[in-house]
Amino acid sequence: MIKEDLAIVQGGKLLNKLVPGDLKGQLLTDHFIIQGITGKLSFDTFRKSCDKLICLKSIKGSVVLNGAFYESASSEHLIFIGNIQPDHLLRHYKNKITLKDFPVYDSFNDFLFSYRTNTKAQEELGVLLRNSRKQLEEIKVLNHDLRQSETSYRTLLENMNEGLLQVDNNETIEYVNDQFCELVGYTREELIGQNAVALLSISEEEGKKMEKKVNERRKGVSDRYEIRIRKKTGELIWLSVSGAPVLDARGKVIGSIGINTDITSPKEVFNALQESEGRYRNFISNSREGIWRLEYDPPLKIGISPGKLAKQLLYEGAIMECNDVMAKMYGYKKGEELYGKRLIDLFSPEKKEEKITAIERAKTFIKNDFKANESISKEKDKNGNVIYISNSTSAEIQDGYLFRLWGMQRNVTDRILAEEALTQSEMRYRRLFEKMNEGLLFSNPEGLITMVNPSFCKMVGYSKDNLIGANGHQLFHDKHEIPRLRKKSAQREAGQSERYELEFITKSRKRILVQISASPHYAPNGDFVGVMCITSDITEKKKAEMAMRDSEHKYRSIFEQSYQAVYDFDPKTKLVLQANESFKKYLDYEESDLKNLKMYDFINHDRSSIDDYVDHILDKRTIDLGEREWKNKNGEIINVMVMGSLISQEGKEFVNIVAQDITTRKRAEARKELSYNIAQAAMTSSEDFDQFSMYVHKKLNSYMGAEICHLTLYDRSKGVLNTVCVRDSVKLEVLNYQRPFGNGLQECTIAMAKPLLLRNSESEEFTQKTGYDATIHDEDRDLKVLLLVPLLSETAAVGVITIASIKNENALVHEDIELMEFVATQIVSVLDRQKVHAEVKKAERTIEHSMNGVLTSDLEGNLVYANPAAVEMWGYQDALTMMTYKTHILDYHPLDTHPRVFDILRTIRKEGRYFDINGLKCARKDGTSFIAQVGGSSVKSEKGENIGITMSFIDITEQKKTEKDYNTLLDTMNDGVIQVDNDENIQYVNQQFCTLVGYTKEELINQNANRLLSVDEKASKAMKKKATKRTRGIVETYETKLRRKNGEIIWVSTSAAPVLDEHGTIIGSVGITRNIMQRKKDEKRLESLSRFPGENPFPVLRYSIEDQSFIYNNSAGEALIKFFKLKKNKTVKMHWEELINSAFKNKTTITDELSVKGKIYTCIIVPIPELNYVNVYANDITERKELEDKMTWQFMKLEKYAFVTSHQLRRPIATILGLVNIFDYENPDAAFNMEVLEKFKIAAQEMDAVTRETVELLVADEFLDEE
């Protein structure tokens, strides 16, 4: 509806004369035929066509208007601005108006003043001119505004992401933006005036293609196409071009304009897709393009009509494969969500016209030989949002049938919208101006601000009213900056654009760093009118960049100086990218060995396991990989604890691995486990000594790789050696032989009564020194190394255990001697028990008189017998009453021990025996309890069948009290001790730990350690992770923070290990904790003072590499300089000079300890290559060393006390118990009993001696502690 006379055309009165009747309030379509707008005519259609050239032809008056619709400021109505065509006006007034030299007119105003009349029309037009002068002035203002809008439009063109190229009809370049210059590698000056085809085409054929496209522009055709061009450097690139004709004011084509996008990468990727299925799979998962495959089952016959085949293409078949990128284009998260979708489902047509459009696109695809390259389609995502997709599709056809479609597509919605935005009006530009994230500022030549957008106001903190008219140089910058800024303004006036960074002062006086893209601003007539600046606050970005550089520097320092092995590798190729010195030291590599080194070369696991753990890192980004095995250059196995992290840097991803060598710890754990297993075997060994020998050899072979094990007993009375030889670790062949006591290595070991470790290469020298025959061989086999350990009884060596390896000289080391000494004690223990075992057989009837409590039951545990000692132990008067009152073995134990008793019965039934030295809680008749050591065995019939169970109980309540004393020793330790179960609930703490965290024992026991002591959620997760390691049997030392009861945060160092029950099951963990707050403070202080050596309270020395001497020391370092100058310390000085030169040569930090006049220093040698000297920073650690020595001494005390309690004290007790069982109570005066009593006396004397030794040991240790 036409709202008013002037609402449709400037100079509306003349229009009313040319078109009969008053147009106000009438429908536009009743008077005009509208050309240049497609689709159904409506207000929305007109609004969408704003800024497009259209034509209004009057139905009655034969008037033609060329112009465009524009949206009003209120957006409530449209304004048409256009020119009346002179030829039609002349024809309308053909009898009244004459023209001279009819020119081409640029505006309606020019036309009105260029004709004259010889009739009454002249007066009529004069009146018209007077009445329309105001409207004509308004037209001039609008033209000025349009030119301003054109300037803003050109500024947007300069800053758009795509390259823009404009040529005339002769293909001569008239305009390019900066992005196009960057695409082709030429400057703007090199391009303007050049022939685009001659300059950019790569061949005559491509040149003709470009000329063809330019000819199509001359015909007014717009389209999109791809073309390959040559850059200035000679590099060939693919461009996607959106071309359109350029018209002059009369609608004549005067050239063409193209929006160019570099599609080289997608083009190459699409070609690669066709080459290899393997590369296709990799591309599918990593491509930034959407990729899909649609299957037709059954396949489509392609010989049918295009219309029918097009419908089948759309409505049949299903997507069987696509990547996540494509799924996200349609609003889904995963590609699987699109599986099963038809092609028509992607277009989501809701109207009949949309379905017809989809079918027509399918027909076009068929006509183009089932190919589509960069075809743009309008589609919808799952939420109904319109998206624009650039499709490249091909079909797989065999024998006239179409089996599948392959497609690659990009979401070009942003690009399409950007192209449409290029044709927007001033209002669209204004919205962009108001809503853009970057700050936008216009200033005049005097530096006064003329326009700003909201983002700029927000950035500087001023309102728009405060900024307009203000001098930006004075408002935002310090005075000393103004001359430099004026120079930059002069450069803008000279036509120069520039991008630079500048500090701004905001309204709140805060200083921010701003990136400025400044360019000159011109009026439509070409006059310089000021400067346009696009601004971005990059303060945080700069901080992040600085933090990144600092982080990189710190990482590099840690990487190079770490004692742990650190290396980076490519997760795709598995190639090691870089590694530190510790890594090379671990694996005995040189720098040259790292070239082309892959993970498979040194990780001692199969390739699939390595690949799985790499995938695990890529999935989790950071992960504790636990224990792994590496293989060094010599093939030796190294145990390491590994942590992996995925790192992204500069668009690339690599994996960082940190590994700690735990080979020593693993070997210690294996020794501990081996000791436990052999001790258990010794405790439960039968009378078959050969079986025990084979068990020992099997375990030693597994741990040490010892193929041969000899157990040799020395019969002093006969002067012979009886040897049990276990050969061949696979067959476990057992040989027994005897030889006279001679001059060999076994005789040497027995004579010296101490271990002997001898390698083949050392045998000749050993023979010369000792006189003993050190020939190392075993029948026809040469032995590489052997270890001999004497079997020591109370008075002398009674034999020797020999282990040997025929493969590797390093199979046995000095650390194994202690283990073998323990094995030797177990063998002696077995030998002692075997001697007693023969006598026990004679005393089976005397079990009635045994001092041990004995209970016998059927296989289900129902009690059938109790000896007098058991009756007395449980507090009953006689066995009959006892078994009548309680009929099952479970009844003699508290309820909470029943599961364990069930396990004991099950073990005896299954294995035939059971023994537990830790003790089992038993319940007496009167309700009191006692702790008993439990042993058990199965009762067999004459046929060897299990028919019952016998269990023996020894009251060890007093022994448990001794263990309580052991806990008291723990409470006197200087370090805190904490034990938790697998749920991190606290089971035990010593007093030092309570002091450390500020809680009492009552407040800690049964509390969750993680919830009570962790400082925050991050620390809590870290503690849970550490607890999980304990459940896997991992031992480690780490530093962490704890929160004390008063809220204070402290640093502690914790050594943690798993706790096992009697079955070897991990039931919790124990940690020894030390307060390291002072050390942390010292480290921080040392770091802060390292830059100012004169103020450092610790010694600082400087050593000149050129002069090979110390050239500086602070006052604290004077003592070290004097120490080095002493002649007697010349050797020490030479050692330190070697370390200093090594650190400088290898550009690495070295740490070592130095003892000077009773003080111990830890010295850090830091090379300064750029200044040709080395700094040495020393820290006094004397007090810390004393504390460490004291702690070591306390642990030695505990180990000695534990050894005495568990071994030396237990042996005489076991002897006494065995003698009691073989005493003949029916014949007290028998001669046999006299021998038993004599041995009983010897055992009692031995126990008394051990007890005295234990007391003296504790007293002596206490005295040493006081000293």
Of 402, 404, 405, 406, nearest to 301 by C-alpha is 402
Provide the residue type at 123 as one letter. Answer: E
Q: What's the chain's average pLDDT?
A: 78
- Average pLDDT of the residues in 704-722: 80
* 3-state SS, one letter per residue, for 112-162: HCCCEECCCHHHHHHHHHHHHHHHHHHHHHHHHHHHHHHHHHHHHHHHCCC
Secondary element (H or E) of residue 449: strand 449-452
pLDDT exceeds 90 at position 999: yes
Q: What percent of the chain is predicted at pLDDT more than 90?
A: 6
Rounded CA separation 1/8 (Å): 10
Query: What is the DSSP-derived secondary structure letter of residue 629?
Result: E
Provide the residue type at 1053 as one letter. Answer: S
* pLDDT, tens only, 332-348: 988 888 888 898 888 77
Which residues, in sequence order, are bridge partners of residue 649?
A: 652
Rounded CA separation 225/238 (Å): 11
Q: Is 712 helix (H, G, I), strand (E, B) or coil?
A: strand
Binned at pLDDT 50, 70 and 90, residue 1044 comes out as: very high
pLDDT exceeds 50 at position 44: yes
Rounded CA separation 803/726 (Å): 10
pLDDT value of residue 1193? 67
Rounded CA separation 828/756 (Å): 18
pLDDT value of residue 296? 92
pLDDT exceeds 50 at position 46: yes
Six token digits for residue 1020:
């809590």
Distances (CA, A) of 1070 to 303, 463, 643, 976, 1177: 80, 65, 23, 11, 36
- Average pLDDT of the residues in 262-276: 68
Binned at pLDDT 50, 70 and 90, residue 886 comes out as: confident
Binned at pLDDT 50, 70 and 90, residue 854 comes out as: confident
Query: For 1235, what's the count of Cα atoms within 13 Å in the CB-facing half-sphere?
Result: 7
Binned at pLDDT 50, 70 and 90, residue 73 comes out as: low
Six token digits for residue 818:
């202690």
Query: What is the DSSP-derived secondary structure letter of residue 29?
Result: G
Binned at pLDDT 50, 70 and 90, residue 901 comes out as: very high
Lateral strand order in the sheet of 733-740: 733-740, 720-727, 708-715, 797-805, 785-792, 756-759
Of 960, 964, 987, nearest to 1059 by C-alpha is 987
Distances (CA, A) of 887 to 779, 861, 877: 61, 9, 16
pLDDT value of residue 922? 93
More confident residue, 195 or 674: 195
pLDDT value of residue 114? 35
More confident residue, 436 or 422: 436
pLDDT exceeds 90 at position 998: yes
Of 978, 1007, 1013, 1010, nearest to 992 by C-alpha is 978
Binned at pLDDT 50, 70 and 90, residue 964 comes out as: low
Under 8 Å between Cβ of 303 and 400: yes
Provide the residue type at 503 as one letter. Answer: E
More confident residue, 259 or 5: 259
Binned at pLDDT 50, 70 and 90, residue 557 comes out as: low
pLDDT value of residue 620? 80
pLDDT value of residue 3? 45
| Domains, the chain | 5-147 (3.30.450.260), 161-262 (3.30.450.20), 265-420 (3.30.450.20), 436-537 (3.30.450.20), 551-661 (3.30.450.20), 667-840 (3.30.450.40), 850-955 (3.30.450.20), 961-1075 (3.30.450.20), 1080-1186 (3.30.450.20), 1209-1266 (no CATH)
Six token digits for residue 169:
């009809």
Query: For 1198, what's the count of Cα atoms within 13 Å in the CB-facing half-sphere?
Result: 17
- Average pLDDT of the residues in 645-652: 78
- Whether residue 349 is preceded by a cis peptide bond, meaning omega within 30 degrees of 0, is no
Return the top range by mean pLDDT from 272-276, 1063-1067, 1132-1136. 1132-1136
pLDDT exceeds 60 at position 121: no
The 10 Å Cβ neighbour count of residue 330 is 23
Distances (CA, A) of 730 to 238, 588, 708, 712: 69, 33, 11, 22
- Break the chain down into helix, strand, coil percent, rounded to 5: 45, 30, 25
pLDDT value of residue 153? 59
Which residues, in sequence order, are bridge partners of residue 160?
A: none
- The CA angle 275-281-285, to the nearest 5 degrees, is 130
Which residues are CB-neighbours of 1176 under 8 A, at least 6 positions away? 1099, 1100, 1101, 1102, 1103, 1140, 1163, 1164, 1165, 1166
Which stretch of 65-79, 285-299, 351-365, 1091-1105 has the lowest confidence by average pLDDT? 65-79
pLDDT exceeds 60 at position 1066: yes
pLDDT exceeds 80 at position 1071: yes
pLDDT value of residue 300? 92
Which stretch of 102-116, 802-816, 838-852 has the lowest confidence by average pLDDT? 102-116
- Average pLDDT of the residues in 704-715: 78
More confident residue, 1011 or 217: 1011
pLDDT exceeds 80 at position 1111: yes
Rounded CA separation 217/167 (Å): 10
* pLDDT, tens only, 1193-1214: 665 665 555 555 545 555 666 5
- Average pLDDT of the residues in 551-555: 65
Rounded CA separation 1053/1036 (Å): 11
Rounded CA separation 782/780 (Å): 7
Rounded CA separation 1213/1032 (Å): 37
Which residues, in sequence order, are bridge partners of residue 1179?
A: 1162
- Average pLDDT of the residues in 1169-1187: 84
Through-space distance between the first and last CA atoms of the chain, rounded to whole angstroms = 112
- The CA angle 72-75-76, to the nearest 5 degrees, is 100
pLDDT value of residue 717? 79
Of 853, 855, 888, 850, nearest to 870 by C-alpha is 853
- Average pLDDT of the residues in 288-293: 85
DSSP H helical ranges for 500-578: 539-561
Query: What is the DSSP-derived secondary structure letter of residue 603?
Result: B
* pLDDT, tens only, 756-790: 888 888 888 888 888 888 776 655 566 788 888 99
Six token digits for residue 896:
């909470």
Residue given tokens 């960074």 in the structure block = 501
Rounded CA separation 1019/1013 (Å): 9
pLDDT exceeds 60 at position 833: no
What long-range pairs does 673-677 form, CB within 8 A, spacing at least 24?
674/699, 674/700, 674/703, 674/819, 675/819, 675/822, 675/823
Rounded CA separation 681/596 (Å): 50
Which stretch of 38-47, 505-514, 600-609, 678-687 has the lowest confidence by average pLDDT? 678-687
The 10 Å Cβ neighbour count of residue 410 is 22
Residue given tokens 């700094």 in the structure block = 1175
